[in-house]
A and B are shown apart, each in its own frame.
Chain A
């Protein structure tokens, strides 16, 4: 069958049951040895993205009929396999673990760490109720009215944009199941997952039908679908993440994605997400901005109170964290970016530090993350490695850095020439009583510091006249060297 490219004999022995079970529901296979090799074959042509998320998918996955037909005709050639993949008849599967991991008793900290993982999206997002209502009423209105429209959602990374939008979609899908809302289709593309803007057509078409076709073909099919009226057309909600990646010079992809909703036959609602608040005015052409409309929503960075609420909601009654520890994380992160992912990551790091804490005698059950652990985690994550790097430089490199700083102070210009720096080195070296390096040696030092990015320098071929810029602040140099001196 389909897996038997290398060793046909063995995989023919595989029972049909295995085959069907793979097709039916992506379940682990019970025969351990065989399944391993079999799935390893599978993994070879696994496309990057798992696609079983889209709601339109399960209908077409019921290909048991074809699979029973397949088992008569033995191994497939690679091109046959490719054909099946492009037709969406083989679902990409991943290799499974040989055995289920034996998860014993988990400590408080481990549980907290799992809960704090960024990928665990809570059922309801705290502190985003207003935005949720806003998007919900927009989409609900569009679905009830059965007309098209666009919305633009913006905000800095980690403020819950995608999570809120998908949360709204999930709520709406639940309403559809309860027959409280007309049914709709949900498609989703992400600009970053596309190698090229036009691949968006391929992805959209793939989510509609499961087939992979070339972008020209996909575009013409989509155009046909959205421009010709069909009486029982469902409303389609299209989520476009990372919109700014889809903008090329011609902006034809963005134009088409936003022009389809204006067709009365399309019933298409496009929700676009990007980071930049003024992207439509900054990057998009006038005609595209006009089509994007004025329904916009901005996600503000989280404040420290909100971050605290988010973390405590995740921990949900666990005793693993001290209250003030959470508060410290929230305040530090809110002062810089208001990024929830960062707060969660720092908290996770703090649990790890607490886990491998200094006192091994302490009972694992009573271990708790305190201010000190958080402080250490913050030090690691918001750390400046520059001072350490300067401290660990060799003596001559330190003198070189001092010389650059001195030359900058002397000339008042940030950009210095190598010969000026070398004169300063001469002075400092004489002052300190160290042997002066030859200019060739000094160039070596210079290029080493340049590779470390402590300074910015040109190629050393124009030796004496190469320009040198300091990449660290002069204060850092003084600080690092003074503390060591004492």
Chain B
């Protein structure tokens, strides 16, 4: 086949460069995690020097850079000679017991049989007489948790096997997985894994991450410092998850680019009229208002519903919600079934001279409202007996319905409740 030359890529502007560099893929540069990296290095080198086994449990919220740190150390050349390195993501195994098989494949061992036990024996044989020390990183280790915890106990007992030289690192989200799931390890101090926590990123750390990323592509001027501070303050206050921060950053750039394109179009139209020379490329840094808009959209989940909803909230769904609020307000019994709600709804409808839906259709309407997250329906044996639970508070519902007159008239209509 004739080799086609790659498409001549159009000259990329700074927005596009910034967008590309703010991806949430792996990086080699981890600002903000120097301490943790140092601690990990010390752990590795101390065990390498004494040639003893050790286990470590790394915990932290999603997006705090646990996997990034360890995969960086796994690639580090200084350990290449002295350590045999294995990385296993525990979500990618077929079942909990299959982790041994996967490890055998990674270590290129040849078990005698095909059962789980054979694989385990092969690993233990290897551990006893391996030439190099083994560094085993088990990512998302909470996937290995079962009721009896056989597999987790077996794995965490490997460092205490006589003659074994293994550095075991488990990564998961929960802070106390080892205490909660592996209580028996506390009985023997040599088995207990060392704990290490990755705290959520703080505001200066997120700013630092953004700066280093943007500087990498020399597009630091896209984000003025004020906007970075705002973004980092918000994200660090809510979750400290750097994936979210990068996501928001990228979104801001995308929106800024779109707005600039729209602006340029108008500008060009004017330029055509004036027959002037085309304007040269100028960079418009993102505004605080743009960042604030994206943040509001992302974090104000229910508030920003109202602007989209407006009239798109079907009338019968509005009536249903109003009836529900009316019942919750005025009745002591908050245990509301679809049947009871339907009775009240029918009375509300007949008072307003609107054709009411019948029960089958009404159950479908309740389900549609459930997809918005306003309700939750607890399933029972019969559709009529399903329980309806309001998930928002009334103020939010009022805001979302944005039809104050209707709500007010229904909420004052307590006569609909009584028989």
- The answer on A and B forming one complex is yes
* Binary contact track B238-272/A, C-beta < 8 Å → 1, others 0: 00010110011001001000100000000000000
Q: Is there contact, CB below 8 Å, between A337 and B254?
A: no
Q: Is there contact, CB below 8 Å, between A336 and B357?
A: yes
Q: Which one of B9, B143, B308, B339 contacts A414 once the chains associate, using CB atoms below 8 Å? A: B339
- Flag whether A456 is at the interface (Cβ < 8 A): yes
In the bound complex, residues from chain B placing their C-beta under 8 Å from that of A219 are 92, 94
Q: Is there contact, CB below 8 Å, between B361 and A336?
A: yes
Query: Known contacts A303-B312, A337-B364: does B359 contact A386 (CB below 8 Å)?
Result: yes
- Flag whether B316 is at the interface (Cβ < 8 A): yes
In the bound complex, residues from chain B placing their C-beta under 8 Å from that of A275 are 371
* Binary contact track B1-43/A, C-beta < 8 Å → 1, others 0: 0000001010000001001100111100000000000000000
- In the docked arrangement, what's the CA distance between A145 and B26, Å? 16
Q: Is there contact, CB below 8 Å, between A156 and B92?
A: no
- In the docked arrangement, what's the CA distance between A290 and B67, Å? 14
* Binary contact track A298-342/B, C-beta < 8 Å → 1, others 0: 101111000000000000000000000000000000111110000
Q: How far is the CB of B69 from chain A (nearest CB, A)?
A: 15
- Flag whether A196 is at the interface (Cβ < 8 A): no
Q: Is there contact, CB below 8 Å, between B358 and A262?
A: no
Count A interface residues, CB 8 Å.
59
In the bound complex, residues from chain B placing their C-beta under 8 Å from that of A252 are 91-92, 143
In the bound complex, residues from chain B placing their C-beta under 8 Å from that of A144 are 9, 16
In the bound complex, residues from chain A placing their C-beta under 8 Å from that of B213 are none
In the bound complex, residues from chain A placing their C-beta under 8 Å from that of B317 are 336
Q: How far is the CB of B87 from chain A (nearest CB, A)?
A: 10
Other A-B pairs, 15, CB within 8 Å; known A290-B63, A334-B315 = A148-B23, A156-B371, A264-B26, A276-B373, A286-B61, A286-B173, A287-B62, A290-B243, A290-B244, A293-B243, A336-B317, A382-B361, A414-B339, A473-B339, A473-B343
Q: Is there contact, CB below 8 Å, between B94 and A262?
A: no
- Flag whether A368 is at the interface (Cβ < 8 A): no
Q: Is there contact, CB below 8 Å, between B358 and A264?
A: no
Q: Is there contact, CB below 8 Å, between A334 and B16?
A: no
Q: Is there contact, CB below 8 Å, between B16 and A145?
A: yes
Q: Is there contact, CB below 8 Å, between B254 and A291?
A: no
- In the docked arrangement, what's the CA distance between A383 and B343, Å? 18
Q: Is there contact, CB below 8 Å, between B24 and A262?
A: yes
In the bound complex, residues from chain A placing their C-beta under 8 Å from that of B359 are 384, 386, 471-473
Q: Is there contact, CB below 8 Å, between B91 and A262?
A: no
* Binary contact track A371-383/B, C-beta < 8 Å → 1, others 0: 0000000000011
- Flag whether A282 is at the interface (Cβ < 8 A): yes
User: What is the interface residue range for chain B against chain A?
Assistant: 35 or more
Closest to A298 in B: B308
- Flag whether B314 is at the interface (Cβ < 8 A): yes
- In the docked arrangement, what's the CA distance between A290 and B368, Å? 26
- Flag whether A452 is at the interface (Cβ < 8 A): no
- Flag whether B309 is at the interface (Cβ < 8 A): yes
Q: Is there contact, CB below 8 Å, between A295 and B382?
A: no
Q: Is there contact, CB below 8 Å, between A282 and B373?
A: yes
Among A250, A287, A409, chain B packs the most CB atoms within 10 A around the CB of: A287
9 A-B contacts (beta carbon < 8 Å): A179-B7, A219-B94, A277-B372, A294-B298, A295-B251, A301-B312, A334-B315, A337-B314, A382-B361
* Binary contact track B287-315/A, C-beta < 8 Å → 1, others 0: 00000000000100100000011011111
- In the docked arrangement, what's the CA distance between A386 and B251, Å? 52
Closest to A382 in B: B361
* Binary contact track A8-34/B, C-beta < 8 Å → 1, others 0: 000000000000000000000000000
In the bound complex, residues from chain A placing their C-beta under 8 Å from that of B372 are 277-278
Residue numbers of A with Cβ under 8 A of B are 137-138, 141, 144-145, 147-149, 154, 156, 179, 182, 216, 219, 223, 250, 252, 255-256, 259, 262-264, 275-278, 281-282, 286-287, 289-291, 293-295, 298, 300-303, 334-338, 382-384, 386, 409, 414, 456, 469, 471-473, 475
- In the docked arrangement, what's the CA distance between A290 and B24, Å? 11
Query: Known contacts A145-B19, A147-B20, A386-B358: does B92 contact A216 (CB below 8 Å)?
Result: no
- Flag whether B215 is at the interface (Cβ < 8 A): no
Q: Is there contact, CB below 8 Å, between A295 and B247?
A: yes
Closest to B102 in A: A220
Q: Is there contact, CB below 8 Å, between A137 and B91?
A: no
- Flag whether B51 is at the interface (Cβ < 8 A): no
Query: Known contacts A137-B254, A277-B371: does B314 contact A301 (CB below 8 Å)?
Result: yes
Q: Is there contact, CB below 8 Å, between A300 and B251?
A: no
* Binary contact track B161-176/A, C-beta < 8 Å → 1, others 0: 0000000000001000
- In the docked arrangement, what's the CA distance between A337 and B369, Å? 9
Q: Is there contact, CB below 8 Å, between A156 and B368?
A: yes
Q: How far is the CB of A135 from chain B (nearest CB, A)?
A: 12
- In the docked arrangement, what's the CA distance between A414 and B364, Å? 23
Residue numbers of B with Cβ under 8 A of A are 7, 9, 16, 19-20, 23-26, 61-63, 89, 91-92, 94, 140, 143, 173, 241, 243-244, 247-248, 251, 254, 258, 298, 301, 308-309, 311-317, 339-340, 342-343, 346, 357-361, 364-365, 368, 370-373, 381-382, 384-385, 419
Among A141, A223, A281, chain B packs the most CB atoms within 10 A around the CB of: A141
Q: Is there contact, CB below 8 Å, between A141 and B254?
A: yes
Q: How far is the CB of A328 from chain B (nearest CB, A)?
A: 12
Closest to B64 in A: A290
Q: Which one of B23, B62, B247, B361 contacts A294 once the chains associate, using CB atoms below 8 Å? A: B247
Helix, strand, loop or mixed for chain B's interface?
Answer: helix
In the bound complex, residues from chain A placing their C-beta under 8 Å from that of B301 are 278
Q: Is there contact, CB below 8 Å, between B311 and A303?
A: yes
Q: How far is the CB of B404 from chain A (nearest CB, A)?
A: 19
In the bound complex, residues from chain B placing their C-beta under 8 Å from that of A277 are 371-373
- In the docked arrangement, what's the CA distance between A259 and B92, Å? 11
Q: Is there contact, CB below 8 Å, between A337 and B247?
A: no
- In the docked arrangement, what's the CA distance between A289 and B315, Å? 32
In the bound complex, residues from chain A placing their C-beta under 8 Å from that of B94 are 216, 219
Q: Is there contact, CB below 8 Å, between A382 and B357?
A: yes
In the bound complex, residues from chain B placing their C-beta under 8 Å from that of A289 are 62
- In the docked arrangement, what's the CA distance between A461 and B142, Å? 48
Query: Known contacts A334-B314, A335-B316, A456-B384: does B143 contact A262 (CB below 8 Å)?
Result: no
The 10 A-B residue pairs with the shortest CB-CB distance, nearest first, are: A384-B358, A290-B62, A278-B373, A300-B312, A264-B25, A287-B62, A335-B315, A252-B91, A145-B20, A294-B247
- In the docked arrangement, what's the CA distance between A225 and B140, Å? 21
Q: How far is the CB of B165 from chain A (nearest CB, A)?
A: 28
Closest to B361 in A: A382
Q: Is there contact, CB below 8 Å, between A262 and B244?
A: no
In the bound complex, residues from chain B placing their C-beta under 8 Å from that of A338 are 312, 314
- In the docked arrangement, what's the CA distance between A337 and B364, Å? 9
Q: Is there contact, CB below 8 Å, between B91 and A250?
A: yes
In the bound complex, residues from chain A placing their C-beta under 8 Å from that of B371 are 154, 156, 275-277
Q: Is there contact, CB below 8 Å, between A147 and B248?
A: no
Q: Is there contact, CB below 8 Å, between A294 and B244?
A: yes
Closest to B89 in A: A259
- In the docked arrangement, what's the CA distance between A277 and B343, Å? 28
Q: Is there contact, CB below 8 Å, between B247 and A141?
A: no
Q: How far is the CB of A284 from chain B (nearest CB, A)?
A: 11
Q: How far is the CB of A387 from chain B (nearest CB, A)?
A: 9
Q: Is there contact, CB below 8 Å, between B16 and A475?
A: no
Q: Is there contact, CB below 8 Å, between B25 and A262?
A: yes
In the bound complex, residues from chain A placing their C-beta under 8 Å from that of B62 are 286-287, 289-291
Q: Is there contact, CB below 8 Å, between B358 and A287?
A: no
In the bound complex, residues from chain B placing their C-beta under 8 Å from that of A302 are 312
In the bound complex, residues from chain B placing their C-beta under 8 Å from that of A250 are 91, 143
- In the docked arrangement, what's the CA distance between A303 and B368, Å? 15
Q: Which one of B173, B316, B340 contacts A336 once the chains associate, using CB atoms below 8 Å? A: B316
Closest to B261 in A: A137
Among B92, B314, B373, chain A packs the most CB atoms within 10 A around the CB of: B314
- In the docked arrangement, what's the CA distance between A141 and B17, Å? 11
Closest to A146 in B: B20
Closest to A290 in B: B62
Among B173, B315, B365, B371, chain A packs the most CB atoms within 10 A around the CB of: B371
